[in-house]
Structure 1
Amino acid sequence: MTAIETPEREADYRVPALQRGLTILGMFNARVRSLSMNEMAERLAVSPSAVYRIVQTLVDMGYLQKAGRSAFELGPQVIADGFVYLASRDIVEVAMPYLNELRDRTSLSCHLSIREQTESLYLYRAFAPQRLTVNIPIGTRLPCHSTALGRVLLSALDEIELSQLYQHVRLDDYPPPAPRTLPELQQLIGQDRERGWVLHRSDYSTAIATGIRDHSGKVVAAINLSGPDAVMDSPDAQATFLHALGQTQALISAQLGAPGLA
C-alpha cells in the first residue's frame, strides 16, 4: 500500500539553506534597501552564524553586495536575471491581443521578438492556420543579421554599438542575402534605420518587420508579418500588409508609452 503524502512528508524534501537564501532575497523591497547580517538572522529567528555562509554565497554569486561596513543590498545579478524576463513578459502581455487581431485581419503569421546579443529571441507568435504559412516556435533564436525581425532590432544600435557587437563575429558563414562583412552589415542596418521597417525574403517566404518603441522612444522589440511569396510578392499586397503592420506597431508602442503615440 502506497503511503499518502502529507505536508509533513513533503517538508522532508525541502532544502533549508536554499529556503533561507530565497527568504533573505525576499526581505529586500522598495522600503528595505539594505540589511545587516544580524537583521537578517533576527528576521529568520536564527543566529548570525547560521546565515553567514548563505549570505557569503549570495555575495559571491552577485545576488547580494556589500553596502557599507556591515550592511548588504541586492546585487546586480538579481536585476540581470529578472529584468529581461519581466520586461519581455510585459511586452508579450501588451502585444498579444494586437498581434492576434493582426493575424485575423491578414491571415498571416505574426511574431514578436527581442534582441539578446546577436540573436533574435522569439517571444510570441500568432499562428495562422493555413497552408504554407510561416510559424516560428516561441523560444527560437535566429541570427539578427539574417532576419527581418533581427535587422529591425539591430537598427536600435548606433554605428559604434553595432561595430562593437559584431567585431568578433564571423558573418561569411551565412548565405545571401545576409551581409557577409561588417561594412555591409553597417550599410544595411543604416538603411533599415532610416526606412523604419525591413522586408526580407527566404525559403519561398517573405517577412515584413518593424520596431516596437518604449516610453523613451527606443526600439525594444520587433514584430512581423510573414507568409508565402505567392501571397506577399506583389507591391500592392506589401503596401497593404505594411500599413496594417504599422497600425499595430503604433498601438503596441502607445501602450508602452512611446512619445507622440499615446
Structure 2
Amino acid sequence: MKNSPSNPESADSTVKSPPGSQTLLRGLDVLDAVVDGPIALADLAARLGLTRSTTHRLANALIDRRYLTFVPRLGYQFGPKLLELGFLAQRQADVVQIARPHIEELATLSEDTVHLGILDQDRALYLDKIPGRRRVEISSRIGDRQPLTATGLGKALMLDDLPTRWEMLFAGDQAAGAPAADYGLWAERMQGYVGAGRAFDLEENQDQIRCVAAPIRDASGRIVAAISVSSAAQYMSDERMGTLSDDVRGTATAISRDLGWTDETPIPRQKR
C-alpha cells in the first residue's frame, strides 16, 4: 500500500502529466476507486488522498455526466453511462474481431483499401482499415469520423433509414462543411442503393477516390456496421464497381452471418 503524502493535493508526482490533465486524472482515479462497489465520501476521499470538498466536487461532476450515481447510506457507485460505454466497447470489439479475417480476404482479393465502420452520433466512425496494394493514398485513419452522406460506408449505414432522415443528415453534413452536393441527385442514387443492397462513393468525399460499400447486420436484421473497398478512380470504372459490388456484398453477408444474421431474418427497412 502506498503512503499518502502529508499534502497530497500539492505534492509533486514522479510521473509528469500533460498540462491541464490533473482534473481528468483525478476523475479517472475516482472511477478506479469505485470498482469494488459503493463507497462513502469519507472513504473515497481517504482512498484518493484528497480533501472531502475536492472529492465531492469531482464525484458530483461525474454524477452530472452519469458516470457515477449516489445511493443514500451506501455511497457512490458506477452510473448508467459506464454500462452504455461498456456495451458499445464490447460490440465494437466483437465486430472488429469477427470482421477482420473477412476484410483481410477482401483486401487480398481486390488489392484495394478496405474499411470497417459503424454509426457514431450521425457520423461514420472507422474501426478498422487494411491498406491496399496499389500506389493509392487513402487519407482515412482508424478513429476518423466522416460525413455519412458523403462516404460510401456512411451511405451503407443509412440504407434502412427513411428519406426524411436522409434529408436531415444531408443538410447537417452540408452545414458542417461536407463537399457540396445536390440533394435531389443524391437521394435518387440512395434509392437505387437501397434496392441494390450496397452504396457507392463517386468521388464525393475525396477527389479521384471511389468506393463500394455494403451494410453488416446482426441477428435482429439491424445494420450495425458497414465495410467499403476504396481505390483511385482509374481503378474504379463503372464496370469494375458493378463487379466489385458482388464481392463487397458477399463479404458483408459473411460477417453478418457470423453475427447471427440469416437469410430468414426480416430486414427492418425504412424503420426511422
TM-score, normalising length: structure 2 = 0.70
Instruction: Judge conservation of contact 1:127–1:135 (CA < 8 Å) in 2.
Output: no
Q: Which of 28, 36, 45 is the equivalent residue of 1:27?
A: 36
Query: Aligned to 2:117, what secondary structure does the other structure show?
Result: strand
Measured in 2, the distance between the counterparts of 1:134 and 1:12 equals 42
Instruction: Judge conservation of contact 2:198–2:249 (CA < 8 Å) in 1.
Output: no
1:78 lines up with 2:79 in the alignment: no
Measured in 2, the distance between the counterparts of 1:134 and 1:20 equals 39
Deviations 1:195-241 (A, max 9, x none): 31012221333211001112221111111112233333152x33431
User: Kindly tell me: are residues 146 and 168 of structure 1, through their superposed partners in 2, closer, same or farther at Cα, counting changes over 3 Å?
Assistant: closer
User: Kindly tell me: are residues 199 and 38 of structure 1, through their superposed partners in 2, closer, same or farther at Cα, counting changes over 3 Å?
Assistant: closer
User: Kindly tell me: are residues 22 and 73 of structure 1, through their superposed partners in 2, closer, same or farther at Cα, counting changes over 3 Å?
Assistant: closer
Measured in 1, the distance between the counterparts of 2:132 and 2:211 equals 14
Q: 1:132-211 counterparts in 2 under 5 A? A: 132=136, 134=138, 136-162=140-166, 165=169, 170=174, 174-175=178-179, 178=181, 180-181=182-183, 188-202=189-203, 203-211=207-215
Instruction: Judge conservation of contact 1:114–1:123 (CA < 8 Å) in 2.
Output: yes
How far off is 1:260 after superposition? 3.4
| Long gaps (5+) in structure 2 | 4-11, 16-21, 266-272
Query: Aligned to 1:258, what secondary structure does the other structure show?
Result: coil
Q: Partner of 1:97 in structure 2?
A: 101
Measured in 2, the distance between the counterparts of 1:144 and 1:187 equals 16
Instruction: Judge conservation of contact 1:212–1:253 (CA < 8 Å) in 2.
Output: yes
How far off is 1:184 after superposition? 6.0
User: Kindly tell me: are residues 64 and 162 of structure 1, through their superposed partners in 2, closer, same or farther at Cα, counting changes over 3 Å?
Assistant: farther
Instruction: Judge conservation of contact 1:118–1:165 (CA < 8 Å) in 2.
Output: yes
Measured in 2, the distance between the counterparts of 1:53 and 1:40 equals 15
Q: Partner of 1:250 in structure 2?
A: 253
Measured in 2, the distance between the counterparts of 1:261 and 1:247 equals 16
| Long gaps (5+) in structure 1 | 1-6, 29-34
Q: Partner of 2:19 in structure 1?
A: none
Instruction: Judge conservation of contact 1:107–1:128 (CA < 8 Å) in 2.
Output: yes
TM-score, normalising length: structure 1 = 0.72
Deviations 1:120-167 (A, max 9, x none): 222211111222364632233321111111111122433454455566
- The more displaced of 239-248 and 11-20 is 11-20
Q: How many residues align?
A: 244
Q: CA RMSD in A?
A: 4.0
